Every structure is written in C-alpha cells, then in structure tokens.
C-alpha cells in the first residue's frame, strides 16, 4: 500500500495514520501508569536483580512513551494548550498529594514542552550543537555546582517534585529496595525535542531511540547499582546514543566547524567561571 503524494507520514513507518499514533502513545502511557502502580507490590527475590529489571523496564517504557508521543502530528497551538493543562494538572495533583498523577502530568508536560522547543530548530545541522551544549550544561548543572546541584542542596523537596522516580520491585525485606533513581523533567523534554527534530528532518529517529535507550539504561544502572549514592547527568548518555545513531548525517563547512569549536570552548569557560562564582558565594 502506498501513501498519496500529499499525505503526511506522522509515524515514520509508512502508516500515516494519526489516530493509530494516538492509540500507540496511549498504550505506552497506560503501560507506564500500570508499571508505576503495580511494580512496588511485586515481590522479587533479590535487591540486585529487582533494581536491574525495574530500571530497564522503566527506561524502556519511558522511552516508548516519549518516542510515540513525538510521532503524533500536532500543531503548536494544541501543544501549548496541552502544556497548560498538564501544568495545571501537575499543580492540582501535587497540592492534593496524588503523587502518581502529578508525576505523570510532569512527564507529559516535559514531552509537550520538548515538542514545542523542537520547532525552534530550523535545520538538521542544529541538532548536533544543541545536543552537545545540552550535554555539557547538564554535566555542569549536576556535577559541577550548577543549578541542579544547588537545588538538591538547598531545596531538596522541590527537586524531588520536579523528577520522576524509577519504581522498584518489593523484595520482602524491610526498608528495601534502597536503589531508586530520579529522572528530571528536563531529560524528558530533551528526549522529545531530539526525537521530534530527528523525525522532522528525516534522520534516524528509530535507531536513535534504541541507542539512546541503551546508553540511558547504562547510566541509570550505574546510579542505581552504585555502592554509594552518586548523581549522574542523563543528557550526556542520551546525546551519545542519538549522535551515534546519526553519525555522518551532519555536514558543516570548515568555517562552521571552527565557529562551533570556539563556541564550545567559550561555553566551557563561562560555565567554569559560573561554578567558581557560585562556590565563592557560599
């Protein structure tokens, strides 16, 4: 079966069926809700394996939800309305203590925001510098005294509200499992931004979803299985998978490469100075 020449392929697989895309996204969202509600009540014989399996399943369903949501053809007006509704839902559910519902609104709001931001990218070659900058800034924000580290230190309650928790199986042991990781709303926003942009510019979004899933799972397992509590930024792992999936697809002139190199060096310098300044202000 062939699409008419003027048809819009919203799925990237020849389906071109917007309603089907909505159903697929709904299934992924439903699976995430089911996981969030049931996994803590499933007894697993080992803390180690419960952590590994829960992390992999959660990441797979989360990536499926983000990817499928970005395949739905939407207009910016609808995305803005959806974002407003989700923000209102997050605030309402948070106020009444409905944590699972507020977390879902947070994640879906991040996805909607990422789709909106993806419209700012006017050319496929913008994806690479945006990805690299996002990864560098995330490292600074989490590990080098940036805003995320500051929030964890000064307003931990607010930080936890702005993250999604990886649920874990029960092991039947009091106080376990102890390995729970957090994923910031920004990670979901950037995943949506990159998946939407890759699809729009005809790059390999499917392979990017698989490879970024693999790299993100690796990062999350490093966090959840570490013998001591560590914090790792998610965006660098995500960026590696996305760029590996599309290696050789970005073309730059010599002048553009030089400009990107200078821009990257300037960014690192500015972030270093910012970290130094915030350290001195303590």
Closest to 182 in 3D by CA, of 33, 28, 59, 52: 59
Residue 3 pLDDT > 50: no
Q: What is the mean pLDDT of residues 165-179?
A: 62
User: pTM for this structure?
Assistant: 0.85
Percentage of residues of the chain with pLDDT beyond 90? 44
147 versus 113: which is more confidently predicted?
A: 113
Q: Report whether 118 contacts 73 (CB < 8 A).
A: no
Confidence of residue 12 (pLDDT cuts 50, 70, 90): very low
- The pLDDT-based confidence of 167 (bands split at 50, 70, 90) is confident
Q: Which of 217, 223, 259, 271 lies closest to 240 in space, CA to CA?
A: 217
Domain boundaries, given as residue ranges, for the chain:
18-251
**pLDDT, tens digit, for every residue of 33-73?**
888 778 777 877 777 888 888 888 889 999 999 999 999 98
Whole-number pLDDT of residue 133: 92
- Determine the pLDDT at residue 278: 63
Half-sphere exposure of 197 (CA within 13 A, CB side): 25
Please determine, for residue 265, whether its predicted confidence score (pLDDT) is greater than 70: yes
Question: Could you tell me which of 14, 53, 109, 91 has the C-alpha nearest to residue 224?
Answer: 53
pLDDT on residue 279: 61
Statement: residue 94 has pLDDT above 50: yes
| In the predicted structure, residue 201 carries a pLDDT above the cut 80 | yes
Is the per-residue pLDDT at 6 higher than 60?
A: no
Span 30-35, average pLDDT: 88
Which DSSP string do the residues of 138-150 spell out, in sequence order?
HHHHHHSS-HHHH
Place of tokens 């924000």: 141
3 or 72: which carries more pLDDT confidence? 72
Residues 6+ apart with CB under 8 A from 214: 241
Distance in Å from the first CA to the final CA of the chain:
65
Task: Decide: 111 and 66 in contact? Cβ < 8 Å.
Answer: yes
Q: Is 77 helix (H, G, I), strand (E, B) or coil?
A: helix
pLDDT at 4 over 50: no
Confidence of residue 10 (pLDDT cuts 50, 70, 90): very low
pLDDT at 8 exceeding the cut of 70 = no
pLDDT of amino acid 282: 61
pLDDT of residue 181: 73
Any idea how long the chain is?
Answer: 282
Contacts of 149 (CB under 8 A, 6+ apart): 141, 142, 143, 231
**Residue 151 — very low, low, confident or very high, per pLDDT cuts 50/70/90?**
confident
Measured distance CA(278)–CA(276) in Å, rounded = 6
CA distances from 12 to 8, 73, 99, 203 (A): 9, 11, 34, 10
């Amino acid at each position: 079966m062939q699409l008419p020449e003027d048809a819009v392929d919203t799925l990237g697989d020849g389906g071109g069926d917007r309603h089907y895309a909505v159903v697929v996204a709904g299934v992924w969202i439903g699976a995430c809700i089911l996981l969030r509600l049931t996994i803590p009540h499933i007894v697993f014989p080992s803390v180690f394996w419960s952590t590994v399996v829960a992390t992999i399943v959660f990441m797979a369903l989360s990536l499926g939800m983000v990817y499928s949501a970005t395949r739905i053809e939407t207009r910016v007006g609808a995305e803005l309305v959806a974002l407003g509704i989700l923000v209102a839902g997050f605030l309402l559910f948070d106020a009444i203590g409905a944590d699972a519902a507020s977390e879902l609104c947070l994640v879906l709001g991040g996805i909607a925001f990422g789709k909106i931001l993806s419209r700012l990218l006017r050319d496929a070659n913008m994806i690479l510098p945006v990805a690299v900058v996002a990864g560098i800034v995330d490292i600074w924000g989490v590990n080098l005294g940036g805003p995320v580290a500051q929030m964890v230190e000064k307003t931990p309650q607010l930080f936890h509200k702005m993250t999604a928790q990886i649920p874990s199986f029960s092991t039947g042991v009091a106080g376990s499992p102890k390995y729970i990781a957090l994923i910031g709303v920004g990670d979901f926003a950037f995943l949506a931004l990159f998946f939407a942009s890759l699809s729009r510019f005809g790059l390999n979004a499917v392979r990017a979803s698989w490879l970024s899933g693999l790299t993100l799972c690796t990062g999350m397992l490093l966090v959840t299985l570490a013998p001591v509590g560590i914090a790792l930024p998610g965006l660098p792992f995500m960026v590696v998978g996305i760029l590996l999936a599309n290696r050789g697809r970005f073309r730059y002139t010599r002048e553009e490469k030089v400009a990107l190199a200078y821009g990257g060096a300037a960014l690192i310098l500015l972030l270093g100075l910012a970290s130094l300044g915030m350290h001195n202000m303590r």
